[in-house]
Structure 1
Amino acid sequence: MTDLIGGLIDVVGERHVLVEPAAQQRFLRDFSWYSPVLADAFVDTRIDAVVQPATLAELAELVALGVRHRAPMTVRGAGTGNYGQSVPLYGGILIDMRRLNRIVSLGEDSVEVEAGAVWEDVEVAARSVGRELRIMPTTYHVATVAGFLAGGSGGLGAVTYGRTWDNHNFASVELLSAEDPPRTLRLEGDDLRFVLHTYGTVGIVTRLRLPLVAAHSWQGWYATFESFDACYELGWELSDDEAVLKRLVSVHEAPIPSMFEPVKRLFTPDQSAALLMLDEGSVDRARATVGRFGGVLRPWPNKPLITEFPFAHTVLWTKKHDPASTWLQTRFKNDRQVALEQVHQLQARFGRRVVNHIEFVRTPDGLNPSGLPALFTSDPREIDAVIAFCEQIGVQVANPHSYVVKEGGMVKDIAAVVAFKARTDPFGLLNPGKLDGTFYAGAVNR
């Protein structure tokens, strides 16, 4: 092990090799504590070193060194994942990619960046030439581009352009294989499925090319309703209206909005609410639509930003309100009425133990209401009962209570990913235990 640490220091310098447990600790945590099932999964995590390369040449040397020592290697960005995507299970080396953060090239139609580039920095660069990114995570202030590719799914812009794997939202990716010496591979088109939401298990992403579109003047708005049905209907109507330019349509059943502590004054406990990001030219049309469904549209305050409340941010606020609460990720049917009927079935079966939160996402198969409901329980058996009921009524579940890609349910062709990994990671060193294993069933005694 001394030889490995010495080799790492030779590559990046002593300052960028962290071997003291106290210095490593912040790299071994993410937001998996949202789940009572995952809360203890990583408490005993230990690693040999955190290493911070600054160039692609340094990264390639580190990978080759890790392969020679047969050391497990886990790649990490900002650590904003929600189910342990970048928390190692088997020690070894944790590669912090955030020094690899250059914007390589910027054009009218696309931008090429290094893996550790921060989404906000890329958006600012694009806006300097009148363009913007199609999609980005709500954690864009800190999240890295490759981290969202490897561990994320939906975010700002998904209501128009879909999830990370839809509509070529990532144009191309370059990655290193876990070999000595590592090979450089370039993926695009359908081959991107091997790296999308596979937690860095098949290769180490180095560069990415992202499509750009014309920049808009986005504004935050919120609409309040006396019933969640009306709020849901408004969400569908706005999301499906091509004349309304939007970056976010996020609907929340009461009392969730009143749990948004910094802005709870905006809502009463019995109000459901839609959080919206609209182009300034679409506000009047959106206001009229909100009115048709009995709601009231108001501008979002200057601070805090509206992006701090939708998607998985909602889980943070509900857990601050009730530490015993948790969440799920679901996909209702791509049918306006059928999806609402599924919402009603959940309400009838679980009452206030399951409270709805839906993000509208435009997929190649049509508009999809994607659920991130709040579950007011910390009992794994009750969580599993909600999952089983969802599956019974035709609501797909992407399980956030497992750190295994296969159990998470977002990657459909695991066999193809495993076959690709055999070619790029022949010794099984990249984030081992995360791709094709089992965790959840044993954790809940299913």
Structure 2
Amino acid sequence: MTRTTTPAPPPGAPAADRDVAGLVDDLTALLGPDLVLTDDRSLDKASVDGSYLSPILRAQWPIGRPEVVCRPTTVEQVPAVVRAAVRRRVPVTSRGKGTGNYGQVVPLHGGLVLDLTALRGIDHVDPEAGVVTAEAGVRMLTLEKRLAAHDSQLWMYPSTVQSTLGGFLAGGSAGTGTIVHGRNHEGFVEALDVVFAHEDAEIVHLEGADAQPFVHTYGVAGIIVRATVRIEPLQDWRCVYASFEDHHDAFAAVQKVHRVSPAPRLCSADGAHVASCLPADEAIPAGRASLRAIVDAAAVGQVEQIVAAAGGVVEAVRRGVNESIKVSTLSYNHPTHWLQKAEPDTWFHMEVQGDALVERLDEVEAVYPGGTLHLEAGHGRMFGMLNGHFTTAEAAYAGVAALEDLGVRVHSPHQYRVDHGTEGVRALAAGTDPYGLLNPGRWES
């Protein structure tokens, strides 16, 4: 686990010879003045992401601010932008919607923020081959809805459905569909079009194993501009809401629901306090723990039996793509968001994993004052967000050893370093980014 609590070096620390003014001129000639931004509002917006969920990171703000933002409108413009940045020795941080929770798209060393949200083309949908090819800026919500018109669905999509495809692949990890397919670097990606930080940068097409090192690595080795990802036949999903008197019963039910066949697409649960902070819904009654699941229509009867056997009540069974997306937005980090919104300056969370989350729930929640767990079913495992009352960063990290003693794996959301295949990615980046310009400051110090 990474335990980073110190701020990054000040923006502009590397590349003392950078020529930002020259780059602004180059980009203006390439893209036009409306797509090259140096005003304070644009720079401030590109300086933050969803890391407000971490009081530890929030206390360090600002951790980085760009000197210029540009917004290419075609994939083909990106290599020219990168060539100009390399020539001027200006760091480049690629960015989608900025919905990540860990500060990975904040430009720690300033320079250029490359906003890819205008690259929204869906190039090819092939249900027979089981793939879709789309540009990096297309929203996952848009992609899922477009696929439904082809009787298809994504293998997975993030709980923040407004995220972009490139952002999810570069910065995400798991989401709706993880129960069946694992995380986004475990077979989801078939191919990538990537731009390296070379003086003669062009779009490089990578397939299979060659593409995988660029997934979940925050753009430090290459900028994803287009991706081909796995899809599958559209299932007849139902959104099941259930409530329980006690969250122990709800969590025990999650362990069983995620094993039904056909497998669910998502299964989440919260205790009564967290559930009370979620958006109002008659299917999430006050004072009761909540279980929410996206299950195949053929498995609804099995889920109803599990809920009843655990002493719960099925509050609603809903259908449709929009209903599935709604349930997705109440999973993963989103309950923590609603908890913090209801009770500001109170909560922090740790990402946790293991069967002990259910089997030793009282001990797990007792590690932190006010401890309350949001539970998710994953690919053969239980994981979630353990929320506690925040006092200091030192106190937050002090609980990690106690959790590990209980058999809980812990990942800190309070850091912005590459935490997946670090040494391999560092070796790769030595060739794809020889000047160290791609999202610098992401390596463990």
The alignment's TM-score, normalised by the length of structure 1, stands at 0.89
The question of 1:28 aligning with 2:47 is answered yes
**Among 92, 102, 123, the residue aligned to 2:144:** 123
Cross-structure match for 2:444 = 437
1:258/1:264 contact within 8 Å kept: no
Task: Give the distance between the partners of 2:411 and 2:365, measured in 1 at CA.
Answer: 20
- Cα separation, 1, equivalents of 2:170 and 2:283: 37
Alignment deviations for residues 266-305 of structure 1 (CA, whole Å, 9 cap, x no partner): 3333x22211112333322211121111111121688893
| Mapping for residues 15-164 of structure 1, pairs under 5 Å | 15-43=34-62, 45-108=64-127, 109-140=130-161, 142-164=162-184
The SS at the match of 1:240 is coil
Q: CA deviation at 1:339?
A: 4.8
**Letter paired with 1:128:** A
Residue of structure 2 in register with 1:419 after alignment: 427
Alpha-carbon spacing, 1:124–1:264, altered in 2? closer, same or farther (3 Å): closer
Aligned to 1:284: 301
Q: Find the aligned partners of 2:402 and 2:207 in 1 and give their Cα distance.
A: 37
Q: State the TM-score, normalized to the length of structure 2.
A: 0.89
Query: What is the RMSD of the two structures over their aligned residues, measured on CA atoms?
Result: 2.0
Deviations 1:104-147 (A, max 9, x none): 1111111111111111221122111111111001222x210010
Is 1:369 matched with 2:388? no
**One-letter code aligned to 2:104:** Q
Deviations 1:353-407 (A, max 9, x none): 2211111111xxxx1101212122242122112222222333211210111123x
Structure 2 unmatched ranges of 5 or more? 1-19
Task: State percent identity of aligned pairs.
Answer: 28
Distance in 1 between the 2:134 and 2:367 partners?
47
CA distance in 2, matches of 1:18, 1:224: 49
1:102/1:89 CA distance change after superposition, 3 Å: same
Q: CA-to-partner distance for each residue in 1:405-441, whole Å, 9 max, x for gaps?
A: 23xxxx1x3111100110111111011001x224xxx
Per-residue Cα deviation, 1:298-346 (whole angstroms, up to 9, x for no partner)? 216888932332111111111012212111111114xxxx553343431
Q: What is the aligned counterpart of 2:280 among 243, 254, 262?
A: 262
- What is the Cα deviation at residue 69 of structure 1? 0.7
CA distance in 1, matches of 2:103, 2:125: 32
Distance in structure 1 (CA, Å) of the matches to 2:336 and 2:401: 21
**8 A contact 1:235–1:360 mirrored in 2:** yes
Distance 2:354 2:386 in 1: 12
1:256: Cα distance to partner?
Answer: 1.2
2:152–2:232 Cα contact (<8 Å) kept: yes
Alignment map for 1:270-419 (pairs within 5 Å): 271-299=288-316, 305-323=326-344, 324-333=346-355, 338-350=356-368, 353-362=370-379, 367-406=380-419, 411=420, 413-419=421-427
* Displacement over 6 Å in runs of 4+: 300-304
The farther-off stretch of 59-68 and 126-135 is: 126-135
Give the superposition deviation at 1:183. 4.4
Any residues of structure 2 matched to 1:186-265 within 5 Å, and which? 186-243=205-262, 245-263=263-281
87-96 vs 277-286, greater mean Cα deviation: 277-286
Q: Using the TM superposition, give the Cα deviation of residue 149 of structure 1 relative to its aligned residue in structure 2, in angstroms.
A: 0.7
Q: How much has 1:155 moved relative to structure 2? A: 1.2
Distance in 2 (CA, whole Å) between partners of 1:171 and 1:242 is: 27
**Displacement of 1:240 after TM fit?**
1.1
**Separation in structure 1 between the aligned mates of residue 82 and residue 409 of structure 2, nearest angstrom:** 38
Name the SS of the counterpart of 1:206 in structure 2. Answer: strand
Structure 1 letter corresponding to 2:257 = L
Which residue identity is paired with 1:70?
A: R
Q: Post-superposition shift, 1:264?
A: 7.9
Alignment check: 8 A CA contact 2:261 2:299 kept: no
Please tell me the residue identity of whatever aligns with 2:428.
Answer: F
| Pairwise CA distance, 1:63 | 0.2
